[in-house]
Amino acid sequence: MIQHISKNALALALVAIVCVLVLGSLDLLTKPKIAEQRLLSQLAILQEVLPDATDSRALLADCTQVDAPEQLGRSGQKVYRWRQDNALLAYLLETTAPDGYSGNIDLLVAVSPNGTVLGSRVVSHQETPGLGDKIERRRSDWITLFSGKSATPADATRWAVSKDGGEFDQFTGATITPRAVVNAIYRAALYVQTHPELALLPANCEITP
Amino acid sequence: MTLMTALLALGILALLFGALLGYSAIRFKVESDPLVEQIDDILPQTQCGQCGYPGCRPYAEAIANGDEINKCPPGGEATIKKLAELMGVEAKPLNAAQEPSIKRVAFIREDECIGCTKCIQACPVDAILGASKLMHTVIADECTGCDLCVEPCPVDCIDMIPVPVTAERWKWDLQAIPVKLVE
Amino acid sequence: MAKIKYMTEFLLLLISTVLVNNFVLVKFLGLCPFMGVSGKLETAIGMSMATTFVLTLASICSYLVDSYLLAPLDLLYLRTLSFILVIAVVVQFTEMVVHKTSPSLYRLLGIFLPLITTNCAVLGVALLNVNARHNFINSALYGFGAAVGFSLVLILFAATRERLAAADVPTPFKGAAIAMITAGLMSLAFMGFSGLVRTV
Amino acid sequence: MPSLFQQIQAGTLWDFHGGIHPPVRKSITSRKPIGLMPLPSRLYVPFRQHIGVSGQILVTQGQYVLKGQALTSADNAMTVPVHSPTSGTILAITEHTSPHPSALPEKVFVIEPDGLEQWRPRQPLNIATADQQMILERIQDSGIAGMGGAGFPTHIKAGMQQPVDYLIVNAVECEPYISADDALMQEAPTTIVKGIDILCKLLNPKAVLIGIEEDKPIAIAALKAACSQREHYFVRPVPVKYPSGGEKQLIQLLTNKEVPAGRRPADIGIVMHNVGTLFAVAQAVLDDHPLISRIVTVTGETLLNPQNVHALLGTPVADLLSFCGFQAEPQQKVIMGGPMMGFTLPDLSVPVVKTTNCILAPSAQELPDAGPELDCIRCGACADACPATLLPQQLLWYSKAKDHDKLKEYHLSDCIECGACAYVCPSEIPLVQYYRIAKAEIREQQRETLKAEQAKARFEARNARLEAEKQARLARNQQLAAERQQNQQQTGAKDAVAEALARIKAKQAESIAETSHDAIVAERELKKQQAREYQAQKALKAATEQIGEVDAAPTPVSEDPRQAAVAAAIARAKAKKAATEQVGEAATAPTPVSEDPRQAAVAAAIARAKAKKAATEQVGEADTAPTPVSEDPRQAAVAAAIARAKAKKAATEHASEQLAQQEHDVPISHSDTAPAPANEDPRQAAVAAAIARAKARKAAVKSEGEEG
Amino acid sequence: MSTVKELSLQGLWKNNPGLVQLLGLCPLLGVTNTLTNAIGLGLATLLVLVGSNVVVSLVRTQVPNEIRIPIFVMIIATFVTVIQLLMNAYTFGLYQSLGIFLPLIVTNCAIIGRAEAYASKNPVLPSAIDGFMMGVGFLLVLLVLGAMREILGQGTLFDGADLLLGTWASALRIEVFHSDNHFLLAMLPPGAFIGMGLLIALKNSIDQRQARKLAVTKGTITRARVTGTAQ
Amino acid sequence: MSFKIASSPHHHNRRSTSSIMQWVALACLPGIAVQAVFFGYGVLVQLLLAIITAWLAEAVILIIRRKAVLPRLTDHSALVTALLLAVSIPPYAPWWVIVIGTAFAIIFVKQLYGGLGNNLFNPAMAAYVLLLISFPVQMTQWLAPLPLQAVTLSPLDAFCAVFTQFSCGGFSIAQLQQGIDGITVATPLDMVRTDLAQGYTLTESYTKPVFQGIAGVGWFWVNLAYLAGGLLLIQQKIISWRIPAALLFGLFTLSALGWLAASDANPSPVFHLFSGATMLAAFFIATDPVSASTTDRGRLYYGVLIGVLVYVIRTFGGYPDAVAFAVLLANMCVPLIDYYTRPRTYGHKAKGSLK
Ligand SMILES: Cc1cc2nc3c(=O)[nH]c(=O)nc-3n(C[C@H](O)[C@H](O)[C@H](O)COP(=O)(O)O)c2cc1C
Ligand SMILES: Cc1cc2nc3c(=O)[nH]c(=O)nc-3n(C[C@H](O)[C@H](O)[C@H](O)COP(=O)(O)O)c2cc1C
Ligand SMILES: Cc1cc2nc3c(=O)[nH]c(=O)nc-3n(C[C@H](O)[C@H](O)[C@H](O)COP(=O)(O)O)c2cc1C
Ligand SMILES: Cc1cc2nc3c(=O)[nH]c(=O)nc-3n(C[C@H](O)[C@H](O)[C@H](O)CO)c2cc1C
Ligand code: SF4
Ligand code: SF4
Ligand code: SF4
Ligand code: SF4
Ligand code: FES
């Protein structure tokens, strides 16, 4: 009986060890490459929003988490800071539009310290495919409209969809989604303007695996 | 170093699991279940061998060992369906090209029979009775219609005839009632 | 107050896994048993019970393995391997025990247990739990919810297929094809639940 | 809350689920006097006009019979005789289209009336002095079977041992068109009440409930008047609704009780009889007037003179119709029975029998054909109409799919085939037709499984036997080989030790062969025994599941045949063993059988000689006194068969009784109780038939020879 | 040689894991919204199938029965993880878009099914061929379904091929037609199910046509049957 | 002389399937008329297109399947399907929307299952959902009701709009969707959902012009007309009262609870009952005999289930009107409901009773 059991146990262990050996060695071999890939992919998004950013690695590291659910949709959003030669050129903010048609819309917005939007992208959303999903860059160019638009507290009427009298077109049949996105970006830009201390906060983001 | 810890961790885990399964294999041993019996109960017991096995039971054993379930023409779709259910597999269409024909029984034209007993030997269910060198006869009620006796007969005096319809067996097929002319 | 908040959170998690993100119809996990054992209502019920048991147990076990073995040792690349090992062993052990101790229970769900090892839903739950960084309770709940969702559609589908069995379906569509299309229409119906639980 | 009995006494009526209201169209015939028909030129009296088995023939072709003379005898509980409806000559005993939807031929007496109407002597019973047994015998001997439709032997229902609370008289007559019972009640209410009296004497019920539809005011008044002297007879007008005349429905209507599925009304203390039956009982007991005629409603728009006709049993439908002025349309439908449950006739020579209450010859506009069958839209109208609270659309679905398990789950067997569902179905689906086919298939399948079980047992037995023979042959061969070796060794004069060893070996081989052979034989017996027990158990299980059927006499039915079967099977096994052994020896005459080839050859020669002799002469003798030519296997078989036949007659009787019941009633698994006799019988029959054929051939050859 | 033919026939058509055995359905439906995903997952599955079949066949005589399944799944899991690591390192984009379905190859019933049904009973070479053919059969179904859904759902083919093959491959993207109103259903779960149902039906009807043709040319009698109607 | 053989019963009452379907179509007419008045003649064009497509699709499949075409076309079930789908979609949706939808309903949802009576799902509703998730833009093109329309369309315009998406006068659909006040008008249900999502209260929302009347302009009358048609069907015993009653009961109860709890965040029960497709669903769609439950008890459960689902999805879900989803979800449950609500057959004990 003991024999039988130990035979089983050893067999399974043996297979496990062989498997782990194979995987372990492969892991050692690929680890650096994978880490690099991961970094690259994260940078890719940042770079899309902020094409001018050159040393994006530094940008990734220079990140702080802020709690401003009122302005940025939820707490714990990350703010990356792009500095060149110690001058702060832009912020990259994670922001969330809480009032999408079917839920939250997560965005990444690049804003210059004076409140000009440099770029924006939707990171994730649940809007109706074919209707609300035109906010995706893959589906249409709409989201790029914001680049170069400046936002000040006085601009509130301008920062609206055209149906509400603003300067951003909504798409046919779906006003809610654009409205939500416009508002979110506007709020993010205002947030940057009203919180100059952002530049000074220590980098405290944990690096996502 | 991490490789070592990995080896150790998973090795030990696997060792434990292996031991657990090995132990429980002994501790929780059960005798095989009577699957063959159940399969055999479903087969029509015609013993005709059309499935490629010498009778229903061998085929039942074969099914239990993983043979296809769609080889028994006398059983037809119904049997396949039941087998599929029992074995937990998808029902398949009948293997053989032809559907099972209408029920038949063997009939020996007795005046032609030379009494060679070949048919008796062929009959899987002892449904033929007779005197050697004399005539033989088929007990229609015990004949399963397998037609195994037809081929061996040296004088071709065995016919497969449709089972006669009686009032009890009659199936309310409106098409089958002749519309007669009455003067 | 906090209690209520937790309860609603749990409830939402359950609704979301059972209906909104149904494992079978929305997430495409566990389809093989969904197709394979839905021929009869009774078998479907047996399978549901077995899956619920294993799925919950497996998500607990894999949570434990992940957070007490793999994470501390930084062996994340061994996740798949160790999870599936845990699942296979749990399943096989359960099968043996049930087979010996309760023949009636075994008859009910014994034959389905081996099938569960290869049910994507089980490994899927384990991996999704890790990805979503669920804590212990959420992991267990998620596993349970996934299983309930699986069971719900499996049982509905089985009852539906029993009716289908007698329908005058065109021959090329008989069997798996019409079952697939039915699943498609079910999934169409389940789209109605989308947006029911807004992502928090 | 008054008790149920009080409620019933107070005249409370209940309701049953479903039901329909088709136009009744009874007034065409109900107000007319009953017509009297002239004697038809031929009468076709079927042997069997009830549920059960037909009796033994008492008359021969060409014989002169008197009116009321029994043509068959009631030698068995499930048998009722038939009688000559008039005096005349038996022209033939032959086959004739049966009054059955299949229209398959069945045995009839063809009688040519002589017009004299000469009665056989009649002995009325004195109801006051006659004991129950005498009355029951009289009912049976008068050939009375239920006239409400099913034709169940009345003496069985009347001779029940269970306590009876209510005797229900079914005077509802709910089917459209039919007014035969109505006419009878208008005409002879007192006789009917006398019939009730007789049954009360037999059954002693607490109360008699007479259910009658409200649209028969004259009949109600007549019955009320006739019953006025008897305070526990209650005439209960019931609302017009089809099928309130159904046994189960009427019971629910009048007593709020349900007959449990698979049981008989008797189990809840109720016996129901049709008024016609009661009339017949009164006539039989008080006048010794057997059941030779009945009232038949002949109606429909193709008749000039639709009316109720007093018709002799055996009257061809054609005569009845022409009596009423039949003007056939080109595509005429003639229905035996009512429009809801009757069946169409393919030919008008079909005779009137005991259960024929109506002949309907409608015009095409009156009862148009069903339109083309469309798909079921699951509207549920059928379920709303079904008096048995079934789900007809579900039954249809599974009938089409031939899913017998589901049909059972949805209680197909509880369908009374009333046709209410098909009546309301908007897609004009012939639902009842589907159910009948499904029921027939289920019955057939049950028969098949039974047969498969038997075949399996036989197959296994045969395999065991073959195996045993093979073993025996092997052992013999070994022995022979050993002997040869011994011989060789002897001649070769090897050393003594080897020789001794060889001998020992040979001996061992011999003994092994012998013991193993015995063992195998024993094992075979055992296997057969097991197989039989297996079957018996299955049968028992089936029987207990359907206890309802056997409860009338459960012990004798389930016990007896089994014992008989076991005994018979043992006898058969022995006979077969002998037979096959001889077949093996005589036919192939193989050397290994006997040690001495010469001896075997001689035996074979003898066998051949005897066989030849048998071939020429013994066929004729076989059935009377088998010559002790033990080699002849057929004779052995025949002898065995005859031996068995006697021992088993009781069993077969039971079996056929049950078989007969199954014909009517769905649960066929009933016959599981006596599987062995069922398969025993045909064997005997087959041999007998073969012998008969041989005889006939011989006769033919002879006569040819004589002529030539 | 004929075994090769037989195994190919089985894997590609007669016993196709996707269409006939209905195994591996989750990835089949889950990742076929674009052709690129389908190819990526199909190739990965193919590799795992061949590898695991070979290894299982190699060790088949040594494996104790009661730990057979754990050992098989570990072997499979190893292969899957190898591929996962490699994909992670070299085709990161695809790795991301295949998501959870990559590790789920482990529980792709088709793989363990082949290991149990074939590799554990046969020598290495046939097992390898079996694995290959089954894998190719599976890949083909993925391809067809992926192409169907992508064309209907977004009017393109090889969208995102760069994820699999590197940036040069974005040139592979074909815009089959352009319209503002794509048939979104095809991209969504119901579309996957219905598409699969149609594929199965298509296969069935081809088989049936074949069988009918065969029946006509071959005749149907398989056994001598004398069925006179005497009397 | 020859005799006709038939099986019993030989007598039938004469309400045929096709006449039942005709009654259903007839009972729809008031609703259709009101819809045409309030929302334009587009609905008639859609009807025409739907019916033609349905007949064609049905005929083609029947011919492929080698079945008799005429008896099945004249059972008029395809007509009812087409009709119910046509009244469900926006009246000026492009022509190919209704064509695709009807073809899908007839081919995939009905005929692939074997035709009339065999389908598990409600063809019209399955097609509606298909269209909704495939072509959300076109499927949300509801125009303002007549009193609010800035531009009114003639019947000819309706044709132009459906086929070209422009009225003959050259207005685009987007322009037509604008109400007199220049604001795009959505359906009241959509409006409520949208406004609540935007954080408005109902009181604020109700000030909008669409909400004139009890449940929005036009919609109340549409629902009333379908209610009348439905009552006619009940009176004619073509549908049983159980499903509509249970459905309305379920919806009413839940919405009343919600309303009582927070009347500013939850529309009133009356609004729920007379908005969107509620009455159409209750009397015409949920009662589809083929895909609904067939037992008496089952029908009650089925109706309540739909009512509850409608409320839940309307209130919490991603779609403004939930009738189609609710019906499909309930269709899915029908086999199970039917199975567990079989009536007690005469002479059998009730399931579970220990009698
Ligand atoms: C099924 C369905 C899905 C919808 N999805 C969205 C969406 O994702 N985003 C959006 O803004 N509107 C969506 N809508 C449209 C809104 O309900 C509403 O009609 C529209 O946004 C009203 O605004 P508008 O007419 O001013 O554009 C959807 C509508 C329906 C019926
Ligand atoms: C649907 C249906 C309707 C029946 N209608 C009547 C009827 O109207 N009158 C009648 O006497 N028997 C009717 N019967 C037969 C009764 O059920 C029952 O067999 C009969 O009353 C028993 O009496 P009996 O043995 O004297 O024939 C009907 C049976 C069925 C199934
Ligand atoms: C197979 C069979 C067995 C019956 N056995 C009995 C019985 O033992 N006792 C009894 O009172 N009636 C018995 N009956 C009579 C039935 O209960 C019933 O009265 C008869 O079938 C006529 O009913 P119907 O015309 O409604 O079919 C039996 C009937 C059948 C068919
Ligand atoms: C009362 C009634 C309601 C119906 N409702 C629908 C419906 O909602 N959708 C539909 O496609 N067909 C409906 N039909 C028509 C028909 O039943 C339908 O085409 C079948 O589902 C097709 O098999 C209805 C028919 C009736 C009699
Ligand atoms: S083919 Fe013949 S022998 Fe084989 S299982 Fe069927 S009936 Fe039995
Ligand atoms: S095989 Fe033919 S000839 Fe020989 S005994 Fe049988 S029937 Fe007679
Ligand atoms: S009445 Fe006819 S159409 Fe209606 S459910 Fe019953 S069988 Fe189907
Ligand atoms: S025929 Fe059968 S199913 Fe139809 S109504 Fe009568 S009892 Fe019910
Ligand atoms: S692939 Fe088989 S269950 Fe997922």
Q: Please give the pLDDT value at position A69.
A: 82
* Angstroms from E149 CA to nearest CA on chain A: 15
User: In the structure, what pLDDT confidence band is assigned to residue F33 with cuts at 50, 70 and 90?
Assistant: very high
ipTM confidence score: 0.81
D603 pLDDT above the threshold of 70 = no
Range 141-170 of A in CB contact (< 8 A) with B: none
E178 pLDDT above the threshold of 90 = no
Q: Please give the pLDDT value at position F183.
A: 58
Q: How far apart are CA D237 and CA D182, in angstroms?
A: 13
- Establish if D649 belongs to a structural domain: yes
Residue of A nearest to C200 (CA): A104
Cite the beta strand spans of chain F per DSSP E.
Answer: 2-3
Question: Considering D437, D461, D488, which residue would you say is the last residue of a domain?
Answer: D488
Give residue D399's domain range. Answer: 372-488
User: Over the stretch D140-189, which tens digit does the pLDDT of each residue have?
Assistant: 999 999 998 888 999 999 988 889 999 999 999 999 999 999 999 999 99
Give residue A155's domain range. Answer: 49-199
Q: Of the candidates B129, B134, B180, which has its C-beta nearest D611's C-beta? A: B134
E13 pLDDT above the threshold of 50 = yes
Q: How far apart are CA D212 and CA D181, in angstroms?
A: 10
- Establish if D496 belongs to a structural domain: no
Q: Please give the pLDDT value at position D678.
A: 37
* Best residue in C19, C185, C186, C200 for a mutation probing chain F (most F CBs within 10 Å): C185
Q: Of the candidates B126, B129, B141, which has its C-beta nearest D687's C-beta? A: B129
Residues of chain B with pLDDT under 70: 1, 29-34, 88-91, 93-101, 173-183
Most confident of A46-55, A103-112, D271-280, E122-131: D271-280
Going by CA atoms, what residue is nearest to atom 4 of ligand 8?
D421
Q: What is the mean pLDDT of residues E110-115?
A: 80
The response to whether residue C31 sits with its C-beta less than 6 Å from ligand 9 reads yes
Question: Do residue D471 and residue D581 come from a single domain?
Answer: no
Total of domains in chain D: 3
DSSP label at residue D355: T
Burial code (b: 16+ CB inside 10 Å, e: under 16) for E20-55 equals bbbbbbbbbbbbbbbbbbbbbbbbbbbbbbbbbbbb
Lowest mean pLDDT among B93-102, E155-164, F126-135: B93-102
Question: Do residue D556 and residue D633 come from a single domain?
Answer: yes
Range 98-157 of B in CB contact (< 8 A) with C: none
Q: What is the CATH number of the domain that holds D3?
A: 3.40.50.11540
Q: How far apart are CA A158 and CA A162, in angstroms?
A: 9
Question: Do residue D668 and residue D556 come from a single domain?
Answer: yes
Question: Which residues of chain E are within 8 Å of residue F108 when distances are taken between CB atoms?
Answer: 194
Residue B169, classified by CB atoms within 10 Å of its CB into exposed (0-12), middle (13-18) or buried (19+), is middle
B153 is in an annotated binding site: yes
Residue of D248, D301, D284, D318 lying closest to D44 (CA atoms): D318
D62 and D214 Cβ atoms separated by less than 8 Å: no
Lowest mean pLDDT among B73-87, C123-137, D608-622, F210-224: D608-622
Note whether D touches E: 3 CB pairs or more under 8 A.
no
Nearest ligand (C-alpha, residue D246): 2
Q: What is the mean pLDDT of residues D660-675?
A: 38
- Establish if D199 belongs to a structural domain: yes
Going by CA atoms, what residue is nearest to atom 5 of ligand 7?
D378
Question: Do residue D134 and residue D218 come from a single domain?
Answer: yes
* Best residue in E73, E78, E202 for a mutation probing chain C (most C CBs within 10 Å): E73
B56 is in an annotated binding site: yes
The response to whether residue D421 sits with its C-beta less than 6 Å from ligand 8 reads yes
Question: Do residue D560 and residue D649 come from a single domain?
Answer: yes
Question: Cα separations (Å) of D110 from D41, D94, F94?
Answer: 10, 7, 80
- Establish if A43 belongs to a structural domain: no
Pairing of strands D307-312, D35-36: parallel
CB pairs under 8 A between A and F: 33
- Establish if D555 belongs to a structural domain: yes
CB contact under 8 A, C180 and E197: yes
Q: Of the candidates C82, C92, C101, which has its C-beta nearest B21's C-beta? A: C92
Question: Do residue D483 and residue D534 come from a single domain?
Answer: no
Question: Considering D288, D305, D336, which residue would you say is the last residue of a domain?
Answer: D288
C153 and C43 Cβ atoms separated by less than 8 Å: no
Q: Please give the pLDDT value at position D569.
A: 42
- Establish if A135 belongs to a structural domain: yes
Question: Do residue D535 and residue D433 come from a single domain?
Answer: no
Nearest ligand (C-alpha, residue D420): 8
F188 Cβ neighbours under 8 A, 6+ residues apart: F210, F211, F215, F216, F219, F271, F275, F276
Q: What is the mean pLDDT of residues D663-679?
A: 37
E155 pLDDT above the threshold of 50 = yes
D19 Cβ neighbours under 8 A, 6+ residues apart: D241, D242, D243, D244, D249, D385, D387, D420
∠ Cα F137 F138 F142 (to 5°) = 100
- Establish if D524 belongs to a structural domain: no
Q: Please give the pLDDT value at position D547.
A: 41
Question: Do residue D474 and residue D560 come from a single domain?
Answer: no
* Angstroms from C151 CA to nearest CA on chain F: 13
Q: What is the CATH number of the domain that holds D379?
A: 1.10.1060
* pTM recorded for the entire structure: 0.81
E173 pLDDT above the threshold of 50 = yes
Whether the CB of F108 is below 8 Å from some CB of chain E: the reply is yes
The response to whether residue D664 sits with its C-beta less than 6 Å from ligand 3 reads yes
Whether the CB of F67 is below 8 Å from some CB of chain C: the reply is no
Q: Please give the pLDDT value at position B177.
A: 46
Ligand 5 atom at minimal distance to the Cα of residue B43: 5
D528 pLDDT above the threshold of 60 = no
- Establish if A13 belongs to a structural domain: no
Q: What is the mean pLDDT of residues E115-131?
A: 85
* Angstroms from B12 CA to nearest CA on chain C: 11
Q: Please give the pLDDT value at position D558.
A: 35
Total of domains in chain A: 1
Question: Do residue D546 and residue D674 come from a single domain?
Answer: yes
Question: Do residue D541 and residue D467 come from a single domain?
Answer: no
Question: Do residue D482 and residue D583 come from a single domain?
Answer: no
- What share of chain A in percent tops pLDDT 90? 2
User: Over the stretch E186-202, which tens digit does the pLDDT of each residue have?
Assistant: 888 899 999 999 999 99
- Establish if A24 belongs to a structural domain: no
Q: Please give the pLDDT value at position F128.
A: 95
Q: Please give the pLDDT value at position D40.
A: 93
* Angstroms from C182 CA to nearest CA on chain F: 8
* Angstroms from B170 CA to nearest CA on chain D: 7
Q: Please give the pLDDT value at position D665.
A: 43
Question: Considering D243, D260, D288, which residue would you say is the last residue of a domain?
Answer: D288
Q: How far is the CA of D98 from the centre of ligand 3 (A)?
A: 22
B149 is in an annotated binding site: yes
φ/ψ (deg, to 5) at D418: -75, -25
Ligand 4 mutation pick, D377, D393, D425, D427, max ligand atoms within 8 A of CB: D377
Question: Do residue D481 and residue D588 come from a single domain?
Answer: no
User: Over the stretch D397-408, which tens digit does the pLDDT of each residue have?
Assistant: 999 888 888 899
Q: Please give the pLDDT value at position D381.
A: 92
Q: Please give the pLDDT value at position E225.
A: 35
Residue of E53, D368, A161, D13 lying closest to F13 (CA atoms): D368
D637 pLDDT above the threshold of 60 = no
Ligand 7 atom at minimal distance to the Cα of residue D383: 6
Question: Which residues of chain D are within 8 Å of residue B130 when distances are taken between CB atoms?
Answer: 633-634
D661 pLDDT above the threshold of 60 = no
B157 is in an annotated binding site: no
Whether the CB of B102 is below 8 Å from some CB of chain E: the reply is no
Question: Which residues of chain F are within 8 Å of residue C168 when distances are taken between CB atoms?
Answer: 113-115, 118
Q: Please give the pLDDT value at position A194.
A: 85
Residues with CB under 6 A from ligand 2: D 146-150, 152, 170, 172-175, 243, 245-247, 272-274, 277, 341, 416, 418
* Best residue in B160, B163, B165 for a mutation probing chain E (most E CBs within 10 Å): B160
φ/ψ (deg, to 5) at D311: -115, 140
Q: Is D304 helix (H, G, I), strand (E, B) or coil?
A: coil
Q: Please give the pLDDT value at position F179.
A: 60
Q: How far apart are CA B106 and CA B138, in angstroms?
A: 7
Q: How far is the CA of C194 from the centre of ligand 1 (A)?
A: 14
Which residues partner with D237 through β-bridges?
A: D212
Going by CA atoms, what residue is nearest to atom 15 of ligand 3?
D152
User: Over the stretch D541-597, which tens digit does the pLDDT of each residue have?
Assistant: 544 444 433 333 333 333 334 344 444 444 444 544 444 444 444 333 333 333 333
CB contact under 8 A, F3 and D346: yes
F290 pLDDT above the threshold of 90 = yes
Please, which chains are in contact with A (at least 3 CB pairs closer than 8 A)? B, C, E, F
Q: Please give the pLDDT value at position E113.
A: 78
- Establish if A31 belongs to a structural domain: no
- Establish if D73 belongs to a structural domain: no
- Establish if D228 belongs to a structural domain: yes
* Angstroms from E187 CA to nearest CA on chain C: 12
The residue written with tokens 């073993």 in the block is D471
The response to whether residue D426 sits with its C-beta less than 6 Å from ligand 7 reads yes
Most confident of B104-108, D338-342, E108-112, F265-269: D338-342
- Establish if A40 belongs to a structural domain: no
